[in-house]
């Protein structure tokens, strides 16, 4: 992989990771357009690893919140009397909500990195999940804030997050939709989506770096991977601020037109042979 290709893919990852448009789907499309074999194990591993850059942006952006959650969790483990605080409960909710995707991700690892990388899957998922996003906004009561988040909410959002293993669905689109359907307001649903992304994407990136390290080195190169990860961090940091501002003023349905347009364009490109599925 050339360094300019790594920069392009880092920008794509950074922009799309926290928008409900599917970063994996967009990376798969971009890799195809750049002439890279999206189904190659090295490219698949690269795609997962550079997401760690975006997660590092979350850690920096929400560093005060995350530090408070970790500190409250650690203190609560040592002192039973400190286990009633909201930060301690929220820390456990993030852990509990991350368990489903950890289990499903391990069990479906070969499928996720194999047949699901098809652009046919991306196109259908982009269009299909748009209907869920529309329904979630229509049904949303938004009468509960982050302080009302409970274990049941975290588990439901965590289970729905598993659907985002399908490229084209979008992890943020899935988790925000689930939060809205649970009655959370849009900002609380988005913030919980950010927090739940941390364990899932760090684990996925770390696992791919270990299991596909040789393939990444052979077909992509660690220098290119490092450059793409750094670029994704910088762009994602700006994207987080923009996403939080956007959800305070607009519904997530503003992305539906874009998602459907890209999905239909993909179907046409695949049907006419302009792009290959893998």
Question: Does any domain span residue 181?
Answer: yes
0.95 cut: is pTM over it? no
Q: Give the rounded distance of the alpha carbon of 213 from its chain centre.
A: 22
What's the average model confidence in pLDDT over 38-61? 84
Question: Does any domain span residue 277?
Answer: no
pLDDT in tens, 156-202: 988 988 888 888 898 888 989 999 999 898 888 888 887 887 887 77
Residue 45 near residue 114 (C-beta atoms within 8 A):
no
Of the chain, the end-to-end C-alpha distance in Å amounts to 17
What's the average model confidence in pLDDT over 26-42? 83
What was the pLDDT predicted at 37?
78
pLDDT in tens, 196-233: 878 877 777 676 666 767 778 888 888 999 999 999 99
Has residue 4 got a pLDDT over 80? yes
What was the pLDDT predicted at 130?
94
Question: What distances in angstroms separate CA 217 from CA 43, 201, 255, one per listed residue?
Answer: 10, 21, 36
What was the pLDDT predicted at 126?
94
What gap in Å lies between CA 133 and CA 209, rounded to an integer?
A: 32
What was the pLDDT predicted at 11?
94
Question: Does any domain span residue 65?
Answer: yes
Two tokens, residue 119: 């652009």
Closest CA to 21 of 165, 163, 125, 159: 125
The sign of the CA dihedral 97, 89, 239, 143 is positive
What's the average model confidence in pLDDT over 233-240? 89
pLDDT in tens, 266-277: 999 999 988 777
Residue 56 near residue 201 (C-beta atoms within 8 A):
no
Which residue segment(s) compose the domain that 80 sits in? Answer: 3-271
Sheet strands (E) in the chain = none
Phi, then psi, of 144 in degrees rounded to 5: -130, 135
What was the pLDDT predicted at 114?
65
What was the pLDDT predicted at 49?
84
Residue 7: pLDDT band with limits 50, 70, 90: very high
Question: Does any domain span residue 276?
Answer: no
Question: Does any domain span residue 107?
Answer: yes
Question: How many domains is the chain partitioned into structurally?
Answer: 1
40: DSSP letter: S
Question: Does any domain span residue 278?
Answer: no
Question: Does any domain span residue 29?
Answer: yes
Question: Does any domain span residue 212?
Answer: yes
The residue ranking higher by pLDDT, 235 or 190, is 235
């Amino acid at each position: 992989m050339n360094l300019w290709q790594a920069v392009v893919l880092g920008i794509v990852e950074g922009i799309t990771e926290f928008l409900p448009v599917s970063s994996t789907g967009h990376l798969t499309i971009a890799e195809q357009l750049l002439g890279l074999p999206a189904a190659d194990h090295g490219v698949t591993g690269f795609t997962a690893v550079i997401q760690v850059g975006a997660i590092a942006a979350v850690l920096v952006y929400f560093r005060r919140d995350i530090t408070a959650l970790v500190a409250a969790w650690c203190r609560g483990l040592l002192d039973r009397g400190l286990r009633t605080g909201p930060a301690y409960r929220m820390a456990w909710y993030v852990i509990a909500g991350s368990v489903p995707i950890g289990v499903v991700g391990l069990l479906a690892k070969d499928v996720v990195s194999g047949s699901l990388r098809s652009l046919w899957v991306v196109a259908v998922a982009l269009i299909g999940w748009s209907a869920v996003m529309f329904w979630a906004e229509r049904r949303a009561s938004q009468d509960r804030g982050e302080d009302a988040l409970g274990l049941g909410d975290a588990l439901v959002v965590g289970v729905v997050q598993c659907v985002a293993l399908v490229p084209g669905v979008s992890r943020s689109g899935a988790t925000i939709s689930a939060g809205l359907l649970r009655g959370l307001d849009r900002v609380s649903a988005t913030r919980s989506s950010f927090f739940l992304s941390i364990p899932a994407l760090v684990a996925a990136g770390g696992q791919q770096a270990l299991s596909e390290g040789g393939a990444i080195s052979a077909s992509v190169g660690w220098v290119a991977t490092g450059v793409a990860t750094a670029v994704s961090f910088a762009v994602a940091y700006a994207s987080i601020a923009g996403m939080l501002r956007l959800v305070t003023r607009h519904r997530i349905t503003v992305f539906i037109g874009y998602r459907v347009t890209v999905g239909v364009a993909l179907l046409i490109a695949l049907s006419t042979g302009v792009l290959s599925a893998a």
